[in-house]
Homo-oligomer: A and B are copies of this chain.
Amino acid sequence: MPYCYNYPRPAVSSDCVIFGFDGFQLNVLLIERKNDPYKGYWAFPGGFLEMDETSEQCARRELEEETGITDACLEQLYTFSGLERDPRGRVVSVAYMALVRQSSIRPVAGDDALQAQWFPVNSLPKLAFDHDLIFRTAMQRLRQKFCYQPIGYELLGEKFTLPELVRLYESVMDQRVDRRNFYRKILRTGLLVLLEERTSGVPHKPARYYQFDRSRFEMLKKNSCFSLISRLPETLAAK
């Protein structure tokens, strides 16, 4: 026990909630734990902080070690510090989340993981530690972000069709979206660039591909704001 301090310290770890979209449903990436505690349980990839890395670097490192993913754009989600999170003792975990193109990622189990696998968000296995709480927090945050930011392009390919985008929104928000109104709304933002290519081999009218205009997005993010509750659903306003 070579590391000694004047006061007790919790261990610090990072965990990653990685969202992917397969064209039909929203998934998260889980690993099966190779070691105790919770051996054999599924959990989010993560591990202990080392002294020469930030919490985000730790998340990125553990993600690569356990799943092979290297280029996810991580965003800090929340820090969990419950007293009984981990049977080994006090562990404070900084959770991160990321949206990735599921198709471009082939998760490979490594290190502490028996296997890495995608699970649909509405049928997860029993999770280790307090990862169920982490998952619910991530889901909530993801939905919030979808409400007021036209994000989610990280979840699709470099190019995508509007119908795909609608399905993504419907999956995440778990509610029906009017295609036609949605198209207009999203196109009016000017964030999508129309490409020449179309889908092919489909037994119906082919869809056009679009690309996300990241530079315009950054520009807009700086300026747009202030609307004070964007709009109140009529049904609620009446009450």
Instruction: Give the most central of A10, A11, A149: most B CB within 10 Å.
Output: A10
Interface string of A1-17 (1 = CB under 8 A from B): 11111111111100000
**Stretch from A74-82, A99-107, A119-127, A192-200 forming part of the interface with B:** A74-82
So how many copies of this chain end up in the complex?
2
Known: A79-B55, A83-B52, A90-B51. A189 touches B9 (CB 8 A): no
Interface size on A, residues (CB 8 A): 61
Report A172-194 residues with CB < 8 Å from chain B CB: 173, 175, 182, 185-186, 188-190
Contact with B along A122-163 (1 / 0, CB 8 A): 000000000000000000000110111110000000000000
A223 to chain B: closest CB distance in Å? 6
In the bound complex, how far is the Cα of B49 from the Cα of A72, in angstroms? 31
A228-B188 contact in complex given A9-B3, A9-B9, C-beta closer than 8 Å: no
Contact of B226 with A227 in the complex, beta carbons under 8 Å: no
Report Cα–Cα, A12/B173, bound state, in Å: 36
Contact with B along A201-239 (1 / 0, CB 8 A): 000000000000000000110011111111111001101
Q: How far is the CA of A51 from the CA of B83 in the complex (A)?
A: 8
Question: Which residue of B has the minimal Cβ distance to A55?
Answer: B81
Cβ contact of A10, chosen from B2, B51, B230, cutoff 8 A = B51
A32-76: contact bitstring with B at CB < 8 Å (1 yes, 0 no)?
Answer: 000000000000000011011111100000000000000000001
Quick one: closest B residue to A6, CB to CB?
A: B1
CB neighbours of A147 from chain B (8 A): 148, 225-228
Smallest CB-CB A-B distances: 7 pairs = A230-B230, A55-B81, A1-B4, A227-B230, A4-B4, A9-B9, A79-B79
